[in-house]
């Protein structure tokens, strides 16, 4: 299934530092950036469209070669012309449908597993599911992380809103 695996152990090996910042995801100098994807891996609008525009058509071509993936899974491609070496496409929704808390959790966990399996150290996530997929911005984070991370997010969120 296109290299999709679900190893729990590899996630535990990931570094635990989380940095919250605003910026252009396509300009991040990280090992990988995460695309808020649909399960057909069509790079249309929003984050996916920005990735396609700045990264070049090679990324969409790799997505086309992978094909459809299950909702809640992720796939990885090269970064094309981006500063990031890879793009991890986290499919939180079907093409034209909305994201649920469960599919958001699953695709994020799978994206982290793919990164860990490749030894990636730095990964930039957008607020997956908050665009056309319908998840309110503030709720997105609360779906993904534990209580300590939620508290850190709350403090940072308040500072960003000032």
Examine the pLDDT at 47 and tell me if it is beyond 90. Answer: no
Please tell me the predicted confidence (pLDDT) of residue 2: 32
Which pLDDT tens digit goes with each residue over 59-117? 999 999 999 999 999 999 999 999 999 999 999 888 777 778 788 888 888 888 898 89
Selected residue with higher pLDDT from 64 and 123: 64
Dist CA 22 CA 37 (whole Å): 20
Average pLDDT over residues 128-140: 65
Q: Has this prediction a pTM greater than 0.95? A: no
pLDDT in the model for residue 6: 33
Q: Please give the share of the chain, as a percent, with pLDDT higher than 70.
A: 65
- Range of weakest confidence among 8-12, 97-101, 117-121: 8-12
Alpha-carbon dihedral 121, 23, 126, 6, rounded to 10 degrees? -10
pLDDT confidence of residue 14 = 42
Q: Where are the alpha helices (DSSP H) in 1-146?
A: 8-12, 46-55, 57-66, 101-117, 137-144
**Measured between alpha carbons, how far is residue 15 from residues 8, 11, 41 in Å?**
14, 9, 27
Q: Determine the pLDDT at residue 36.
A: 86
Q: Do the beta carbons of residue 81 and residue 71 sit within 8 Å?
A: no
Between CA 2 and CA 76 the distance in angstroms is: 9
Q: Are 94 and 118 in contact (CB under 8 A)?
A: no
Q: 22-26, 49-53, 121-125, 135-139: lowest mean pLDDT where?
A: 135-139
Q: Is the pLDDT of residue 155 over 90?
A: no
Q: What is the pLDDT of residue 65?
A: 98
Domains of the chain are 8-161 (3.40.220.10)
């Amino acid at each position: 299934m296109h290299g999709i695996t679900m190893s729990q152990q590899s996630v535990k090996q990931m570094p635990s530092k989380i940095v919250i910042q605003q910026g252009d995801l396509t300009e991040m100098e990280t090992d990988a950036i995460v695309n808020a994807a649909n399960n057909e891996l069509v790079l249309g609008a929003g984050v996916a469209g920005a990735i396609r525009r700045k990264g070049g058509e090679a990324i969409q071509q790799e997505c086309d070669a992978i094909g459809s993936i299950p909702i809640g899974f992720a796939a990885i491609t090269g970064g094309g012309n981006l500063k990031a070496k890879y793009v991890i496409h986290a499919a939180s929704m079907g093409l034209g449908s909305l994201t649920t808390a469960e599919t958001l959790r699953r695709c994020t966990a799978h994206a982290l597993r793919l990164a860990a399996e490749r030894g990636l150290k730095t990964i930039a996530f957008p607020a997956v599911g908050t665009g056309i997929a319908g998840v309110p911005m503030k709720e997105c984070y609360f779906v993904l992380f534990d209580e300590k991370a939620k508290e850190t997010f709350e403090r940072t969120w308040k500072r960003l809103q000032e």
